[in-house]
Amino acid sequence: MSPLPFEERFDTYAGYRRALLELIQGATSEIVLFDPDLRETGLESSVGLETLTRFLGGGRQNRLRIVLHEPGYFERECARLRKLYQVYHHVMALRQAPDDLRYLTENFAVADKSRIVVRFHSDHPRGKSVIGEGADADGWRRRFDALWEASLETVPVGRLGL
């Protein structure tokens, strides 16, 4: 019998950032993230960068894939995160969702096969973090994979030095 998942709800951006950092800290091989622009993730903060660096440098199997609606914030405001992308471009990839998928408003991250963080709507901080079997990580992962396939490569490594 599978253990029940542990679920924690949040209703602030600080709670969302904390849940996302905990997801990254607990990841052992792959993280996928769908977010409109990364603005509310906290990944550009020193703690966010340190956590991502530890994950990306933690093993050859570790991978991070991100789909954004709009890469402008990443390109203009995330100098430290772009630098991390330059260093780890071999295990980190970013894509932009096509315009016809702009109606997707849930933000989510999946780590491995048993951790998810979901923000129910991109305009609000409310969401949940779920860890454990039964977290429906497979369902969210399939959703991300379909989004990934429909998305376009963005922010080529060569453009980062501009």
pLDDT at residue 161 greater than cutoff 50: no
10 in a structural domain? yes
Report the CATH number that the domain containing residue 105 is assigned in CATH.
3.30.870.10
The one-letter code for the residue type at 50 is E
26 in a structural domain? yes
How would residue 3 be classed by pLDDT, with cut points 50, 70 and 90?
Answer: low
28 CB contacts (<8 Å, ≥6 apart)? 59, 62, 111, 112
48 in a structural domain? yes
Reported as a single tens digit per residue, the pLDDT across 130-153 is: 998 666 888 999 999 999 999 998
1 in a structural domain? no
* Entry pTM: 0.90
The values of phi and psi at residue 101, to 5°, are -110, 15
Q: Could you give the number of structural domains in the chain?
A: 1
Reported as a single tens digit per residue, the pLDDT across 85-107 is: 999 999 999 999 998 888 888 99
SS3 content of the chain, % helix, strand, coil (to 5): 40, 25, 40
162 in a structural domain? no
Kindly list the strands in the beta sheet with 92-96, ordered across the sheet, starting from the edge strand earlier in the chain: 6-10, 127-131, 115-119, 107-111, 30-35, 63-68, 92-96, 152-153
Domain coverage including residue 50: 6-157
Strand duo 107-111 + 152-153: pairing: unpaired
44 in a structural domain? yes
Confirm if 132 and 6 have CB atoms less than 8 A apart: yes
